[in-house]
Structure 1
Amino acid sequence: MNVAYVFTTPGASFILEKMIVPQLEEGRHGANVVGMFFFFDNNYLLVRGNPTGERLHALAKQRGMLLMGCDQCCYQREIADRLFEGIPIGCFPDLYQALAGAQVDQVITL
């Protein structure tokens, strides 16, 4: 099953750090994660130097998983130029286009 995550809540960093990322690293997540989209302060996870972001970025490169930051959120926080290399920023139309060929079965919002 192919899933995409949308991170909107303040607790998303905890969920990623303590649950999803370790499961992905250990190969026991149970679903193929094809993409993650970040809103609000969750975009700080995508900033170079963030430890959880480092792990996510490595997983994304290894698995071909999309990581994308919300354009308005990144620009408002003035971090658009500080994201890990290769991580795009955009809005829903950009996300839809980026995941068009991924055959997403479920979108999970956290």
Structure 2
Amino acid sequence: MKVAYVFSTAGQTIDYVLGEMILPQLEADCHGVDVAGMFFLHDNAFVLREGDPLGERLVDVADEKEILLMLCDRCAEKRGLAEQVGTDDSGRERYEPRNTFEDVTVGCFPDLYGALGGIGVDHIVTL
């Protein structure tokens, strides 16, 4: 089974749920499902800020397991983690990551769905 996580709850979700539950299981290869992607909203975006210790662990695992790491574009922009670089053919604003780990992407829900669409995700879990 393949899942994707959406981290939307502010507070201790990142440190506790991701940092002390999900990530250690991924590192130990005992999470029980394949994780296809993770999407970060609000202040949860800071975990992918360059130099974040939890983010470093996450990026290593994501690279090894080919997990998509995406920040909400507007959330990232408001936190100095993305900048607008123009618009696409449909007039939607486009953003590029800034001050984040390499291979982190930014986008909105349509971008997330597009990136995960061909992978065959069975469930999207919102935390």
Name the TM-score class by shorter chain.
Answer: over 0.9
Match of 2:104 in 1: 87
Match of 2:30 in 1: 28
For residue 96 of structure 1, the aligned residue among 99, 104, 113 is 113
Amino acid corresponding to residue 108 of structure 1 in structure 2: V
State the alpha-carbon separation in 2 of the partners of residues 86 and 65 from structure 1: 10
Runs of at least 4 residues off by over 3 Å = none
Match of 1:6 in 2: 6
Shift of 1:108: 0.4
Match of 1:107 in 2: 124
Shift of 1:68: 0.2
Structure number with higher strand proportion:
2
Instruction: Give 5+ residue unaligned stretches, structure 1.
Output: none
TM-score (norm 2): 0.84
What SS does the corresponding residue of 1:60 show, helix, strand or coil?
helix
State the alpha-carbon separation in 1 of the partners of residues 13 and 114 from structure 2: 24
What SS does the corresponding residue of 1:24 show, helix, strand or coil?
helix
Match of 2:18 in 1: 16
Match of 2:91 in 1: none
Bigger drift between 21-30 and 6-15 goes to 6-15
Match of 1:38 in 2: 40
Amino acid corresponding to residue 6 of structure 2 in structure 1: V
Amino acid corresponding to residue 104 of structure 1 in structure 2: V
Give the aligned CA root-mean-square deviation in angstroms: 0.7
Structure number with higher helix proportion:
1
What SS does the corresponding residue of 1:55 show, helix, strand or coil?
helix
* Percent of pairs with identical residues: 50
What SS does the corresponding residue of 1:102 show, helix, strand or coil?
coil
Amino acid corresponding to residue 19 of structure 1 in structure 2: M
What SS does the corresponding residue of 2:117 show, helix, strand or coil?
coil
Shift of 1:45: 0.4
Equivalences, count: 110
Specify which structure has the bigger relative contact order, considering alpha-carbon pairs within 8 angstroms and separated by 6 or more residues: 1
